[in-house]
Structure 1
Amino acid sequence: MARTDRVEDKIILSDLAFYGYHGVMLEENTLGQRFRIDLECGVDLREPGKSDDVETTISYADIFELLHEAITETRFKLIEALGQHIVDRLFEAFPTIEWIKVRVRKPEAPIPVVSGEFAIEIIRDRETA
């Protein structure tokens, strides 16, 4: 099996719901809507796994708080821009994160669909952020 330098360990936060005012349509900016976030952060977890010391890892609560701030501090027309903003903020705040995969889902987009949702997914490492 080929060896890669990419860290395969991850911190995962999934199906988080936030309320925000992102979108192109006036209703989205006025009324707001729910957004769902799925996040994977590539972090070497060997040390916290061996030491059981919270100081050697990234707190899920800190990641959640940053996500909340990123989603509510600025309004974006595109969820693509919101996703990139989340990536930028995470890399800035947590230097041990090597790569990020974030999915921004918009389950209530103002489009007449009976079931489903609209989403984007961004995958970045520090060099391509």
Structure 2
Amino acid sequence: MGRIILENIKLFGYHGCMPEEKYIGANYIINIEIELDFYNASITDDLSKTINYVHLYSIVKKEMSINSKLIENVAQRIIQKINNKFNDLIKYSKIKLCKENPPLHSNVDRVCVVLEYFK
């Protein structure tokens, strides 16, 4: 088993329940972790025997461009799309999605949600 990890994907989005969040937007940091058996890819140097991380990134970017009230919803959509697309390969998947400087009227760097799926 091995893991593909995309760390600190930085994207801008318009997610939130407050009206101003739909216009101002916020910065987000996303981490994706996928566990799979990529032994064959590692010995054959064949991209078709693993998950191309470019495809993972494109799923994240596309789903982040769709506005949602809750970051929980965004995280669920991202991980579900990844799991559906690569269902035969994935043994475990995890997403951590963080909103930078959330509007909490307090000094909070970020608020995050984490979803994990085990097969």
Tell me if 1:59 matches 2:41: no
Following the alignment from structure 2 to structure 1, what is the Cα–Cα distance between the partners of residues 33 and 103? Answer: 28
Following the alignment from structure 1 to structure 2, what is the Cα–Cα distance between the partners of residues 82 and 16? Answer: 14
Given the two structures, how large is their TM-score scaled by the length of structure 2? 0.91
Given the two structures, how large is their TM-score scaled by the length of structure 1? 0.84
Q: Match for 2:11: what amino acid?
A: F
Tell me if 1:94 matches 2:113: no
1:112 Cα shift? 2.9
Superposition pairs for residues 4-43 of structure 1, below 5 Å? 8-43=1-36
Tell me if 1:103 matches 2:96: yes
Moved runs in structure 1, 4+ residues, more than 2 A? 112-116
- Pairs aligned (count): 118
Tell me if 1:116 matches 2:109: yes
Following the alignment from structure 1 to structure 2, what is the Cα–Cα distance between the partners of residues 39 and 86? Answer: 9
Q: Match for 1:75: what amino acid?
A: N
Following the alignment from structure 1 to structure 2, what is the Cα–Cα distance between the partners of residues 31 and 117? Answer: 16
Which residue, out of 48, 58, 63, partners 2:41?
Answer: 48
Q: Match for 2:63: what amino acid?
A: A
Tell me if 1:85 matches 2:77: yes
Q: Show the counterpart of 1:75.
A: 67
Give the number of the structure whose residues are more often strand, by fraction. Answer: 2
Deviations for 1:31-77, whole angstroms, at most 9, x for unmatched residues?
111111011011111111111111211111111111101111x2211
User: What secondary structure does 1:26 align onto?
Assistant: coil
Contact 2:41 2:47 (8 Å CA) reproduced: yes
Q: Work out the percentage of aligned pairs sharing the same amino acid.
A: 25
Q: Extract unaligned runs of 5+ from structure 1.
A: 1-7
Q: Match for 1:103: what amino acid?
A: K
